[in-house]
Amino acid sequence: MSLEKITVDRRKHRREKKKLDKGEHSADLPIVNEIYSSSELLEMAEGKDYECYQLDLLEAFFLVFALNALEISDTSQKVMSISECWSRFAFYYSCRSYHGLESTIDPPFNLFSAHYAAYHYYRSLGWVPKNGAKFGVDFVLYQTGPKFRHADFAVVVLPHRLQDNKDNKDNKDNNHTWKWLLGLNRVCTQVKKTLILCYVTVPANNEATFSKTLLKNYKIQEIILKRWSAEKNR
């Protein structure tokens, strides 16, 4: 039996169960009395494990560094150190597009370091951050996890680097407009999430190599933004 057939049967079982609960079952439609057990699913799938668990770079580094619960190997099957993971993840992470602004391979500062600092901060507070690209943000925060309830907050990470004890005028967050912010806030309101602007102050010349005390030099400030409606606030 194919995986598609198993999925169809399961969906059919759920529909029939709902009809039975409502007393709407038709005698012409068969009822699936049993749901498949794990062993039955494995046998039907011919011993192949179709379930794949994927981690993004931030989740993977947190498991390697903060929890020491994961080992990552390179293409030669050599286990990578924390410093190697940091430098390689920073390279791949910074090559992506950042809020619609093309990031070069040699960015003005390490985007991964700022985003990981925010990720580590929320994980330390007991939240479960997940990728928020679906809603146009960096993270969505769950109290327990996606399986149990919807996310309560949507987080946008805005890196801010200090250089020679002065603000760097070339920061990425300075390129955002009020139009972008209002549009993002409207989207978050429609999906019943509270928007958080997370400003991460990155220390100058302190991010190329990783050390266990590195995160102590980062500063995080949060601004909660809610949509104001003149009609509802008269």
Average pLDDT over residues 191-211: 83
Is this structure's pTM higher than 0.85? Answer: no
C-alpha Rg value of the chain to the nearest Å:
23
- Give yes or no: 172 in active site: no
Say how many C-beta atoms besides its own lie within 10 A of residue 198's C-beta. Answer: 24
- Give yes or no: 142 in active site: yes
What's at 34, amino acid-wise?
E
Average pLDDT over residues 194-220: 83
Query: Residue 92 above 80 pLDDT?
Result: yes
Look at residue 33 in the predicted model and tell me its pLDDT: 47
Average pLDDT over residues 172-199: 86
- Give yes or no: 150 in active site: yes
Average pLDDT over residues 40-56: 70
Q: What is the mean pLDDT of the chain?
A: 78
Look at residue 196 in the predicted model and tell me its pLDDT: 95
Query: What distance in Å separates the CA atoms of residue 195 and residue 213, rounded to the nearest whole number?
Result: 30
Extract the tokens encoding 17: 């169960």
For residue 200, the SS3 value is strand
Average pLDDT over residues 161-166: 61
Look at residue 31 in the predicted model and tell me its pLDDT: 47
pLDDT band at residue 123 using 50, 70 and 90 as cut-offs: very high
Say how many C-beta atoms besides its own lie within 10 A of residue 113's C-beta. Answer: 25
Residue in 5, 78, 150, 219 annotated catalytic: 150
Residue in 98, 142, 199, 218 annotated catalytic: 142
Residue in 172, 193, 199, 218 annotated catalytic: 193
Query: Residue 56 above 70 pLDDT?
Result: yes
Q: Is there a contact between 22 and 14 (Cβ–Cβ < 8 Å)?
A: no
H or E, element range at 116:
helix 111-124
